[in-house]
Amino acid sequence: MPPASTPSALLTSGQVNLRILSIMIFNFSSYLTIGLPLAVLPGYVHDQLGYSAFWAGLVVSLQYFATLLSRPYAGRYVDRVGPKRIVLFGLSGCLLSGVFYLLAAWQSAVPILSLTLLCVGRVMLGVGQSFAGTGSTLWGIGLVGSRHIGKVISWSGVVTYGAMAIGAPLGVLIHQFGGLKTLSFSVMCIAALAIMLAIPKPGVASSAAKPLPFSTVLGKVLPHGLILGLASSGFGVIATFITLFYADKGWGGAAFSLTIFSCAFVGTRLLLPNCISKFGGLRVSVVCFCVEIIGLLMVWLAVSPVMALLGALLTGAGFSLVFPALGVEAVKRLPQQNQGSALATYTAFLDLSLGITGPLAGLLMSRAGVPAIYLASAFAVFLSLLLALRMIRQQQGEPQKS
């Protein structure tokens, strides 16, 4: 890889990608610490500690709420001290989450204490991911320049969802091998390794541009963020509750369905790297929503593990390009010097969606059964489809009005 001092305008496409990936590994690490316990904790809270599906969903969602609430502070401190320090701080929070998971495992004989320790760990993880994710994204933009912000968004999406989706089946396998204690050690080791890799890397200066007020940024990215939030429910119900769905049906192979889901997600992103720039983010997202809806409906109607597996595959493939497709459209609505804030605000809608999905899906499961959450999610994605089509029509009408 060329030295960091080489101007981004002189870099080849491959060199730009290498620079981005050299920083995105820290975002990948933070999301891997999210993905590993993602499919394990609901079952641990529900089956081992004896709490309801609502509490199982709430424990998972606490992390997303903590990320949502702390993300504005992460962006503010990046401007003050630079992204590298923020990444190190965030990875430290991810490491501490593993410590609290371990403490919770040791106190499993006292359910209320174990649940409390899990909740503290989830909050630590949420704050850590917010700082690590925001810092690494802005660190990457600082290395390659804002002219490559689309590539940064795309690779950020690959590592974000790829790590969560890959981490979920991997976490199930680790839990089957050594329980929650071994899983906790795995989380701590991943975070510690990422910290050691980040320390020697050169940082970049924070932006000197005056940031726009949060209300202005929010108003610009709100339409795209709302669409993203609705569509993200499909990812949430697959990654978080597919193990409970398989258990409810009496089937085996839940971990394999998560593997297929993750492979479809990452594979689609890697096989179609240029479709967003070629066809436009909104048009790509419309196709994605249709595929995601079909996948969720197949899981809802599944009468065999193969049908559920195919539904998970289509859901992963459909949702794969949603984040970068809408993200590129969202950040273009703000001046170049404020696109980092736009990206952070846009990503917050994902945090909010995943935070709400857990407890709402838990409540729905307790009243209508586990399969019902996939029908409800398909309806949410359908609303995203309608909003995206409306936005396309509005854009087509703009030249006629001028």
Q: Which of 340, 238, 359 shows the shortest CA–CA distance to 292?
A: 238
Query: What tokens does 32 get?
Result: 């891997």
Q: CATH no. for residue 140?
A: 1.20.1250.20
pLDDT value of position 261 = 87
Residues of the chain falling short of pLDDT 50 = 400-402
| Cα dihedral: 230, 231, 234, 239 (round 10) | -100
pTM listed for this prediction: 0.74
Strand, helix or coil for residue 38: helix
| Cα dihedral: 24, 29, 35, 36 (round 10) | 160
pLDDT value of position 400 = 47
- Note the pLDDT tens digit of each residue in 165-217: 678 788 888 988 888 999 999 999 999 999 999 999 988 766 555 667 777 88
Q: Whole-angstrom Cα distance, residue 344 to residue 251? A: 39
Query: What tokens does 179 get?
Result: 């329980």
pLDDT value of position 27 = 93
pLDDT value of position 203 = 80
**Domain annotation covers residue 259:** yes
Q: Whole-angstrom Cα distance, residue 275 to residue 310? A: 24
Number of domains forming the structure of the chain = 1
Strand, helix or coil for residue 211: coil
Encoded amino acid at 9, one letter: A
- Per the structure, the complete domain to which residue 157 belongs is given by 15-397
pLDDT value of position 402 = 38
**Domain annotation covers residue 3:** no
Encoded amino acid at 85, one letter: R
Query: What tokens does 353 get?
Result: 């969606």
- Note the pLDDT tens digit of each residue in 30-42: 999 988 988 788 8
Q: How many C-beta atoms surround the C-beta of residue 117 within 10 A?
A: 21
**Domain annotation covers residue 7:** no
**Domain annotation covers residue 189:** yes
**Domain annotation covers residue 1:** no
**Domain annotation covers residue 402:** no
Query: What tokens does 213 get?
Result: 């007020």
**Domain annotation covers residue 333:** yes
